[in-house]
Structure 1
């Protein structure tokens, strides 16, 4: 705890004071362009990875960077997505997984979840990921299997994201883009899913998904 307190003092002295004008401006409101959804893992720092300043990312964090599909049940993720899209009008949503993810290890090998019933219930939102790995990645073992799980889970959660009405509406209107990323802890690399190549490639090489063509209405038939 003492380290955290010392960190606050250092922040106020070395960070806040030189950027006081920025923080005073932020006090009047926020206008981030991006909703960044990632894992709660302490090794992940979205602003550090993307070199963004306060006010530039709206962030959701939870175990496994999971987005439950749209349902009548109101959860924190759904409420945050709704606010980001409807009020903040973010232009991009990124779901970012990471290597060595404990949640994804539990998806592959659920032993031990008996003592963690709430974690097990939360990971039920990765059932499609588990099925994909079971049916298509039997040839992989160990770290390679976990990495495949991380990647497939990002894609599954993107599909869940598309079920949220406001997200679907903004995608159809061409005002929102979705991105799937994986952060490699041990090298600092970030990989993005390229829809044309149908695989994860270095983020600097991936083609940004083009916004859908706006549709105002369909002709009567």
Structure 2
């Protein structure tokens, strides 16, 4: 049955609805067996914490199938330190680690990040007090850049801040008890990535060298500390 023609202002939602129809009528039948299997259980390979930016699509970037990634998204790919804000991000981390038993957690920032631009220029957030409060969790990255980086221009500063924010959130992640325990015994691996929207390249944080390296150039850079047990 054809849908009733709506006003031109509703074209955006109709594109989404048409996309669903395509999925339901053409894509789903081709993968029906997979979806029936997923209907009653999930065993994701990794947790993927990234920005809410519409240009960042974890499943597309990693070519993952439904059920492969346990995804959490928020403004600035932030992970609040444990105890400060026991909300959605903290809950998702605990559930992924304890209930789902994920072996990998990826924190992924990206180029041209609006959240990081706002961290550099807080005046943009004058009318967004909730966002301003949330991005306090990225303040540590801002201070690190201001006091240590001899950056050349705003664009360079933004890129360094984006990397430092990922490093900062990795530090926050390690404060969560469920994560800290499994890191200590070498049963969990954490990764810090920065995705470049224009080129599709990903650079990953190498904790031993203290730098980001492009994935594909040698062994996979790892952000996981050495186990103690």
> For the superposition of Structure 1 and Structure 2, which TM-score range results when normalised by the shorter chain?
over 0.9
Whole-angstrom distance in 1 between the partners of 2:51 and 2:74: 5
Matched, 1:59 2:92: no
* Deviation for aligned residue 1:163: 0.3
Match for residue 168 of structure 1 among 158, 180, 184:
180
- Structure 1 distance, partners of 2:221, 2:98, is 23
Partner of 1:101: 113
Residues 116-155 of structure 1 aligned to structure 2 (within 5 Å): 116-155=128-167
The corresponding residue for 2:214 is 202
Structure 2 gaps of 5+ residues are 1-12
Shift of 1:73: 4.0
* Structure 1: tracts of 5 or more residues without a match: 216-221
Deviation at 1:197, TM superposition (A): 2.6
Of 179, 201, 208, the residue aligned with 1:189 is: 201
Q: Does 1:32 align with 2:44?
A: yes
Equivalenced residues, count: 215
Instruction: Return the offset for 1:108.
Output: 1.0
**Native 8 Å contact 2:119 2:135 kept in 1:** yes
Cα–Cα, structure 1 residues 148 and 213, in superposed 2: closer, same or farther, change >3 Å?
closer
Cα distance, 1:211–1:151 mapped onto 2, change above 3 Å: closer
Q: Offset of 1:188 from its aligned partner? A: 0.6
User: 1:195 deviation in Å?
Assistant: 2.0
1:47–1:53 CA contact under 8 A, matched in 2: yes
TM-score (norm 1): 0.93
The Cα offsets for residues 148-172 of structure 1, whole Å up to 9 and x where unpaired, read as: 1100000000000000000000101
Larger displacement relative to structure 2 (52-61 or 9-18): 9-18
Divergent runs of 4+, >4 A: none
Residue equivalent to 1:219: none
Question: How much does 1:127 deviate?
Answer: 1.2
Partner of residue 4 from structure 1, selected from 10, 16, 20: 16
Distance in 1 (alpha carbons) for counterparts of 2:208 and 2:81: 25
TM-score by length of 2: 0.90
Paired residues of 2:46 and 2:102 also in contact (CA < 8 A): yes
Q: What CA distance in whole angstroms lies between the structure 2 residues aligned with 1:125 and 1:186?
A: 27
Does structure 2 conserve the Cα–Cα contact (< 8 Å) formed by 1:33 and 1:89?
A: no
Match of 2:8 in 1: none
Q: What residue is the counterpart of 1:218 in the other structure? A: none
